[in-house]
Amino acid sequence: MRVLGIESSCDETGVALFDTGQGLLAHALHSQIGLHAEYGGVVPELASRDHVRKTLPLVRAVLDEAGSKVSDINGVAYTAGPGLVGALLVGASIGRSLAWSWGVPAIGIHHMEGHLLAPMLERPAPEFPFIALLVSGGHSMLVQVEGIGAYRILGDTLDDAAGEAFDKTAKLLGLDYPGGPALAKLAEQGDPSRFRFPRPMTDRPGLDFSFSGLKTFALTTCQAHGDDPQARADIARAFQDAVVDTMVIKCRRALQQAGVGRLVVAGGVGANQALRAALSDLAGTLGAEVFYPRLEFCTDNGAMIAYAGACRLQAGQRQDLEVQVYPRWSLEELQAL
Ligand code: KG4
Ligand code: ZN
């Protein structure tokens, strides 16, 4: 079965073609970073309009790259939520319309299911069950995954998501949007012993996260040190160390509590090298395995949507003709395969 996947939930247009026999055939991405940079964050209306412009050209590019004809496509998957409602509607309308005109089924995919299944595109792929650490611009979650669609949320963010905390802290350090990668780069020059930030919510049981206090901590430290450039790098380092340490502590807890030996790390913050190194160390000490998507599939992409869609369409799931999106949508509401 050959499935076209379309991702348009936020500020990236991603399109990919996945074949259940041959694997990923082609993928293409257009990032809107340049469009939103001057505003310091995503402007939803600009995002929607840009998805309108970019989706069909990317579909054509992916079909060309794969050397695939429209008549070879057996289904279309699109991100149906969570995300920005206008942006989601663009991908959903285009995806649903293409499927209708091609006479094939369509399916709406949960964006975070896409992220947590992204490591399935790598070899070796993780087997079920596993614990997924989902850390993106909008989410920080620990999820127990028993199979496709069988998700139990073990921990969630009480305020800012991990990526959001990276972006906001980067902004107050004077870094450009999106701040996560820029902050990680600045942290490389930071002295880890100069400042110590708290490890939020690690002094009590439970698997929830709270990162908004770290941003305030960074702000007050910043104010105390004026525009000393070395202090900015040291703050970036202290912030990143605190986030990484907190995630390591919670991942250890989740793996031990669930008695599971496999950890999957996905979402944009999963591209952070310090986090990857620390979680690989953790897996080493626990005798567990850790799985990551390739770097370009940590952040938003069409491949993860095409893959999740192929799994669900192959199992017989279908969307009717109505175009439906869900800006807020829990992973636990999904139907298990
Ligand atoms: O998964 P994603 O592309 O979009 C959402 O679904 O939200 O994640 C984007 C987030 C942004 O907040 C970005 O700053 C963060 O992931 N991010 C990083 C890194 N690369 C992307 N954060 C820390 N270190 C990185 N290397
Ligand atoms: Zn995402």
Mutate to test the pocket of ligand 1, among 136, 172, 265, 292 (most ligand atoms within 8 A of CB): 136
- Smallest Cα–Cα separation from 159: which of 201, 128, 187, 125? 201
Q: What is the pLDDT of residue 226?
A: 78
CATH number at residue 13: 3.30.420.40
The response to whether residue 240 sits with its C-beta less than 6 Å from ligand 1 reads no
Residue 224 and residue 130 in one domain: yes
Per-position pLDDT tens, the chain of length 337: 999 999 999 999 999 999 999 999 999 999 999 999 999 889 999 999 999 999 999 999 999 999 999 999 999 999 999 999 999 999 999 999 999 999 999 999 999 999 999 999 999 999 999 999 999 999 999 999 999 999 999 999 999 999 999 999 999 999 988 899 999 999 999 999 999 999 999 999 999 999 999 999 999 999 999 789 999 999 999 999 999 999 999 999 999 999 999 999 999 999 999 999 999 999 999 999 999 999 999 999 999 999 999 999 999 999 999 999 999 999 999 999 9
The response to whether residue 181 sits with its C-beta less than 6 Å from ligand 1 reads yes
- Smallest Cα–Cα separation from 118: which of 304, 329, 337, 333? 304
Domain extent, residue 240, equals 126-292
- Residues 309 and 79: their CA atoms lie apart, in Å, by 9
Q: What is the pLDDT of residue 81?
A: 98
Give the angle 320-112-163 at the CA atoms, nearest 5°: 145
Strand partners, 106: 76
Backbone angles phi, psi at 65, to 5 degrees: -60, -40
- Residues 247 and 32: their CA atoms lie apart, in Å, by 29
Instruction: Specify whether the CB–CB gap between 211 and 165 falls below 8 A.
Output: yes
Q: What is the pLDDT of residue 227?
A: 82
Residue 15 and residue 63 in one domain: yes
Mutate to test the pocket of ligand 1, among 10, 79, 113, 166 (most ligand atoms within 8 A of CB): 166
The response to whether residue 86 sits with its C-beta less than 6 Å from ligand 1 reads no
Residue 137 and residue 250 in one domain: yes
Residue 318 and residue 215 in one domain: no
Residue 142 and residue 258 in one domain: yes
Residue 76 and residue 21 in one domain: yes
The response to whether residue 163 sits with its C-beta less than 6 Å from ligand 1 reads yes
Q: What is the pLDDT of residue 335?
A: 96
- Smallest Cα–Cα separation from 3: which of 86, 70, 93? 70
Name the residue type at position 130.
F
Residue 109 and residue 194 in one domain: no
**Number of structural domains in the chain:** 2
Ligand nearest to the CA of 236: 1
DSSP E strand stretches across 116-218: 130-135, 140-147, 150-155
Residue 49 and residue 14 in one domain: yes
DSSP state of 126: P
Residue 146 and residue 284 in one domain: yes
Ligand nearest to the CA of 109: 2
Ligand nearest to the CA of 33: 1
Q: Which two tokens stand for residue 248?
A: 């390591």
Q: Which residues contact 228 (CB under 8 A, 6 or more apart)?
A: none
Residue 9 and residue 51 in one domain: yes
Q: What is the pLDDT of residue 177?
A: 84
Whole-number Cα distances in Å, 272 to 199, 237, 294 = 18, 13, 12
- Residues 32 and 37: their CA atoms lie apart, in Å, by 9
- Residues 310 and 329: their CA atoms lie apart, in Å, by 20
69 Cα to the center of ligand 1, angstroms? 34
Coil, strand or helix at 51: helix
- Smallest Cα–Cα separation from 33: which of 23, 24, 42, 45? 42
Residue 149 and residue 260 in one domain: yes
Residue 135 and residue 236 in one domain: yes
